[in-house]
Structure formats: structure tokens, C-alpha cells
């Protein structure tokens, strides 16, 4: 009886830890989403000042990850959760690591923007780039919503939607390579644009990893089947 009460007390205390950690994770998600939205705006507007702010802003995400890491260790050591609780808390740890990598990718895009000149950026901000960037941002926003609401259906939609991002990435990459082949002066700029495109595609991949983690936390099992993949940039032969 005493043991049962103790278990219940632990469970309650642990639920409070999960609540606090979820709030920290929501704050971290907000930072990451903000960074991605800003760097996409900087890319579309050719604004090196916004890009600089994104590069500087990454440190806040890294520091948030370290705080979550430490809090997770403390929570497990203090509350000694059972398997289900552990999955929850390790899921939070994994999602924080995905968000940290999203931040790194936004920062890398920010650095590249600062070295491109604004004429190039204006020429580069094609419909293809806008399409892809808004698709990635939508995926990221949806997965963050699904995390806040523990909405598995939405997480599965994000997971399935990654192939649309991959397809837009392939189209855009072909467009950029075509221009580089025709105009040697466009080569260096084109390379930066290709890496930005690839970084956006990888942000989409991390959103999908988060979707898988949410599914695992809520359902206690892995999303079945091979992830739908339409990223053909490594197969590009044009």
C-alpha cells in the first residue's frame, strides 16, 4: 500500500517534471521556428542584416538544449520513472537534439546569405525557392503544433508530407544547376543556393524525425514502413 502510494506520488511528481520539460521544449521549438522563418525571409529579401541576426541567435537554442539535457538527467535521477515515463523523457531529449540541428542549418543558411550579393539573391529568389521554403516552414510549424497537442494524426501527416518537400527540392536544384551550366558567372552563387536548398530539405528531414519521435512517445511503437522519400538530389544526373 505504502509502495503504491509512493509510486503514485512519484508518478504525479514525474508528470510535473514532464510538464516543465514540455514547456521548455515548446519554448525551444518557438526559437527554432523563429530562426527558420527569419532566415527564409532573409533569403527571399536578400537581407544580410536579418541573416546576421539569425547567425547570432543560434546560441540561444544551443543553451536551451543544454538546459533541457541537464533537466532530463535530474528528472530521471530524482523520480526514477518506469519505462513509459522514460520513453517520454528520452523522446523530449531526442526532439531537443533535432531542434538544435534545425538551428544549426538555419545558421548555415544565414552565413551563406551574408556572402552572397543582393543582386544574386534577388535573381535567386525564384518561385521555386519560395515554394520550397514555405513548404518546409509549414512542415516545421505543423510538427511543433502536433508536439504541443500530442496530436499523432498531425505528426503522421508531417511524416508523409516530407516527400513533397523533397520533390520541391529536386525541382529547385535542377533549375539552379541549369542556370549554372549556362552561365559560368552564376557558379559560385548557384553553389550557395544549392547548399541553402539542401539545408532547407534537411530541416524538413528533422521535422520528420520529430514527427517519428512524437508518434513513438504517444503510441509506444515506431511508425511502420519505410519513410516516403522523394529526395532525388543525390541521384541528380542532369
Q: Which residue number, 134 or 188, has a Cβ lying nearer to a second copy?
A: 188
Q: Which of residues 126-155 bind a second copy (CB under 8 A)?
A: none
Tell me whether residue 168 or residue 192 sits nearer to a second copy (CB atom): 192
Question: Among 169, 142, 164, which Cα is nearest to 234's?
Answer: 169
**Contact status: 76 vs a second copy (CB under 8 A):** yes
Contact flag: residue 181 with a second copy (CB under 8 A)? yes
C-alpha angle 193-188-200 in degrees, rounded to nearest 5: 15
Residue 218 and residue 150 in contact, taking contact as beta carbons nearer than 8 Å:
yes
The answer to whether 29 and 140 are in contact (CB under 8 A) is no
Q: Which residue in 49, 191, 220, 228 binds a second copy (CB under 8 A)? A: 191
C-alpha grid cell, residue 181: 551550366
Which residue in this structure is represented by grid cell 515548446?
26
Show contacts with a second copy in window 77-96 (CB under 8 A). Answer: 77, 80-83, 86-87, 90, 93-94
Q: Which residues contact 67 (CB under 8 A, 6 or more apart)?
A: 24
Binding string, residues 198-237; x marks residues near a second copy by CB under 8 A: x-----------------------x-----------xxxx
Measured CA distances, 89 to 17, 184, 213 (Å):
9, 51, 11
* Calpha distance 96→94 (Å, rounded): 5
Count interface residues toward a second copy (CB under 8 A): 39
- The residue among 1 and 83 lying less far from a second copy, judged by its C-beta, is 83
Site for a second copy, rule CB under 8 A: 66, 69, 72-74, 76-77, 80-83, 86-87, 90, 93-94, 97, 108, 111-112, 115, 177, 180-182, 184, 187-188, 191-192, 194-195, 198, 222, 234-238
Amino acid at each position: 500500500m505504502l509502495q503504491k502510494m509512493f509510486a503514485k506520488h512519484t508518478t504525479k511528481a514525474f508528470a510535473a517534471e514532464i510538464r516543465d520539460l514540455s514547456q521548455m521544449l515548446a519554448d525551444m521549438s518557438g526559437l527554432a521556428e523563429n530562426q527558420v522563418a527569419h532566415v527564409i525571409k532573409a533569403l527571399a529579401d536578400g537581407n544580410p542584416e536579418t541573416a546576421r541576426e539569425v547567425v547570432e541567435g543560434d546560441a540561444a537554442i544551443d543553451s536551451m538544449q543544454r538546459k533541457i539535457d541537464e533537466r532530463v538527467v535530474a528528472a530521471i535521477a530524482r523520480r526514477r520513472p518506469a519505462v513509459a515515463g522514460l520513453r517520454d523523457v528520452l523522446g523530449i531529449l531526442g526532439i531537443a537534439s533535432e531542434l538544435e540541428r534545425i538551428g544549426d542549418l538555419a545558421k548555415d543558411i544565414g552565413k551563406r546569405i551574408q556572402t552572397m550579393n543582393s543582386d544574386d539573391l534577388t535573381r535567386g529568389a525564384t518561385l521555386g525557392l519560395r515554394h520550397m521554403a514555405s513548404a518546409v516552414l509549414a512542415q516545421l510549424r505543423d510538427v511543433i503544433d502536433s508536439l504541443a497537442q500530442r496530436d499523432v494524426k498531425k505528426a503522421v501527416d508531417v511524416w508523409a508530407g516530407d516527400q513533397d518537400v523533397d520533390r520541391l527540392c529536386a525541382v529547385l536544384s535542377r533549375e539552379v544547376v541549369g542556370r549554372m551550366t549556362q552561365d559560368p558567372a552564376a557558379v559560385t552563387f548557384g553553389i550557395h543556393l544549392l547548399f541553402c536548398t539542401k539545408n532547407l530539405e534537411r530541416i524538413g528531414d528533422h521535422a520528420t524525425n520529430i514527427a517519428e519521435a512524437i508518434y513513438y512517445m504517444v503510441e509506444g511503437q515506431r511508425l511502420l514502413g519505410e519513410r516516403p522519400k522523394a529526395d532525388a538530389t543525390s541521384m541528380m544526373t542532369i
